[in-house]
Structure 1
């Protein structure tokens, strides 16, 4: 079966996906390898299990085809099975994947990365974001001799490791002594950050944050952070997992012109292949190497960080971005989508309740109830209607594989969903349109 889903929500069901989800839960804690992919993030019994994908489309095991957004949690920005990336990967797979000594591919990947992100002087590759953010924290602590880490409390995720997860509602299993060493500062508020650094004078090793999020940084904010870090002797770390490539080929640091001491990249870097990067100033990065006179720092040592096919994928992705102007295309697609969704929401009277936010290349949406408060119930209603219309969209984050027809189809489905949203608002009760429990936030203390 290769048909787009057109059924009404009440008739739409996913029997094979439901069975596959049961199998997943029986074998894998949480039923997925990333909490954000869990079936609790989707309407009850409507969590598609994917069979395959190509370009901007995916097919579930029930045979339904969807226009997909947020591909691979923002990692597949060129679209699934991108030919240029696959060509590079296949070439290296035929030549061997991992060796007892560095391969020439590691040199080529590092050269390509540092040419794309010229604000960095050295780079080290790993497999996931947590590898490199934790390495950045360890390096900052080693360089400064300080114990505390200051994280931006307005940004949702930095690492699976104890120094960060201990600050979330899912802190079970993490000693309080570890959590107490992590403090938070608010995004956009330089005065509050300076107060924090003054309160913990000579204790904070680093400031770590996403340089931009759902809103643009206030004028002068990132430069102000740079100045604060310099004056208080701490390391400035930009987490560019999301902003890397999507904001500009060189990330947010390339767009806004503020150079961090260290930065971390991942997600879009491999177009779905597992690769991440820690980059930064040579003076700091070399502490994790062999050409310095201090104590050795165990920076990163990953068996699979040097897999040739993943590094080849990263090289191909960056080359494609630079040569084909992918970042500009992502923005153009996102702007078209955002305008269409906002127009559809306004036309059905829900423009104040279905709200599109974020940079055009990284759009998310908020679902607000009749009082203007964030609502998981209305999110559930909206997701159900999207799924029934053949749109898989936990966010509206675009890939460059989307075309105008995909966007137009998405807007049509959104308009149909908004009409139901209006009915629920008029009734002041979305329950009749949920057909089960509401979707749940990822970070919560209880199951």
Structure 2
């Protein structure tokens, strides 16, 4: 791996083509150019374990891991073997494939608080399916979602609450309410203000800090006493906090829960799971209630993706994956923490979250969160062969990878300290990155800034 990386010629060529052909230049906002420095790889060519290579041949130790979807490692052999075998039989038929039953059985053995499961392709399918089901069960329209948790769905019920709500009717936007994590009174007040109107409460079990004073259990009790459904979004926590999900770790059984991301080690599969009394509303057997059009997707049960999910779940069941994630995350915490202290940056840069799913905070000289300093830090870690929008470890992050990451962070923090003293503009090439949820875009970079960036 090169000590310093700066050639992005092919990435920059593809960037121009992508912007002309694809709105935003990517199919996922979190992967867009506005989320990364000018000096960064625009396109990844391949991955192996926790290493990736961009289209210019630069190699990185990667920590985004497909927006947390790749828990075992890129091109993980046992998963690929299962996928290859299944592909030989075809991937989509007129009637269900037997692997759909096998995958459901495997999933429900892992997620023990659920009775039934339905698979789809992405997290938004699952969470929006849960919302629709909750509304059907309760006959209510309003949804309470945790405002501290940044993303639940691409659908209107959630996006209408963000800055990017253009195109979403006001009537829909008014149906979703917000409450604070670990603040049970903020949720209780919503039930008081909207008696008999809230269909469901949806939140992640945690974004990093553990629930305090039985917060999750109290939230569920509030739902039960007010006739609402309690929904856990386990897209990130599932198969990362615990092989049975955060619900197993925190000993709570939600009415409905939603899984994805690490469920298939990067293959496209998600799951809506829950109690039989609710899930069967989308089935064929119940006759007491109107039918719910729950989840029905042409590609929702593609056999190769389900094969990937089965192989992935069995690895989590049989091997110490979760223990490895925590151990390597803790090693990062210690090593990077020591580097932060050496540079005297404790007030300006720190790690957040649990060891299995770390992130970092970047503050300016006024101790305010700073996109400019975040972008500078990403720029400098990328130069040192680390691609880390967060610090999401995988089963293939070895001790040497951790050591090299700590060394790269140490070097980047040295530049960070200089930028605090002299100004970030002396070190950052081009514009800072942006928040995904913003009302307007910034004007394009001036030509001279683009030229500087393209010349490395």
**Normalised by the shorter chain, which TM-score bucket?**
over 0.9
SS of the residue corresponding to residue 303 of structure 1 reads coil
SS of the residue corresponding to residue 210 of structure 2 reads coil
SS of the residue corresponding to residue 299 of structure 2 reads helix
Match of 1:308 in 2: 303
Q: Deviation per CA, 1:220-248: give whole Å up to 9, x if none.
A: 11110111011000000000000001010
Match of 1:49 in 2: 43
CA distance in 1, matches of 2:57, 2:348: 32
1:13: Cα distance to partner? Answer: 3.3
TM-score, reference length from structure 1: 0.97
Match of 2:228 in 1: 234
SS of the residue corresponding to residue 304 of structure 1 reads coil
Give the 5 Å matches for 1:83-94.
83-94=77-88
Q: Which runs of 5+ in 2 are unaligned?
A: 442-456
Q: Deviation per CA, 1:180-206: give whole Å up to 9, x if none.
A: 011111111111211111110000000
* 2:272 matches 1:278: yes
1:351: Cα distance to partner? Answer: 2.2
TM-score, reference length from structure 2: 0.95
CA distance in 2, matches of 1:346, 1:140: 48
CA distance in 1, matches of 2:409, 2:344: 13
For these two proteins, the number of residue pairs brought into alignment is 440
CA distance in 2, matches of 1:382, 1:181: 39
Structure-2 change in CA distance of 1:411 and 1:45 (3 Å) = closer
Match of 1:425 in 2: 420
* 2:244 matches 1:247: no
CA distance in 1, matches of 2:160, 2:419: 38
SS of the residue corresponding to residue 434 of structure 1 reads coil
* 2:156 matches 1:162: yes
Match of 1:356 in 2: 351
1:273: Cα distance to partner? Answer: 0.4
CA distance in 2, matches of 1:124, 1:258: 20
Q: CA RMSD in A?
A: 0.9
CA distance in 2, matches of 1:378, 1:100: 53
8 A contact 2:259–2:272 mirrored in 1: yes
1:45: Cα distance to partner? Answer: 4.3
Q: Which runs of 5+ in 1 are unaligned?
A: none
8 A contact 2:37–2:375 mirrored in 1: yes
Give the 5 Å matches for 1:3-402.
4-7=1-4, 12-293=6-287, 294-402=289-397
Moved more, 237-246 or 183-192: 183-192
SS of the residue corresponding to residue 225 of structure 1 reads helix
1:48: Cα distance to partner? Answer: 3.2
SS of the residue corresponding to residue 306 of structure 1 reads coil
CA distance in 2, matches of 1:430, 1:246: 35
SS of the residue corresponding to residue 205 of structure 1 reads strand
SS of the residue corresponding to residue 271 of structure 2 reads strand
- Deviation >6 Å, runs of 4+: none
* 2:406 matches 1:414: no
Match of 2:446 in 1: none
1:70: Cα distance to partner? Answer: 1.5
CA distance in 2, matches of 1:410, 1:219: 36
SS of the residue corresponding to residue 187 of structure 1 reads coil
CA distance in 2, matches of 1:313, 1:161: 26
1:355: Cα distance to partner? Answer: 0.8
1:47: Cα distance to partner? Answer: 3.6
SS of the residue corresponding to residue 273 of structure 2 reads strand
CA distance in 2, matches of 1:433, 1:274: 39
CA distance in 2, matches of 1:140, 1:17: 45
SS of the residue corresponding to residue 345 of structure 1 reads helix
8 A contact 1:249–1:321 mirrored in 2: yes
1:21: Cα distance to partner? Answer: 1.1
Moved more, 113-122 or 44-53: 44-53
1:161: Cα distance to partner? Answer: 0.2
8 A contact 1:18–1:46 mirrored in 2: no
* 2:408 matches 1:405: no
SS of the residue corresponding to residue 426 of structure 1 reads helix
CA distance in 2, matches of 1:400, 1:388: 24
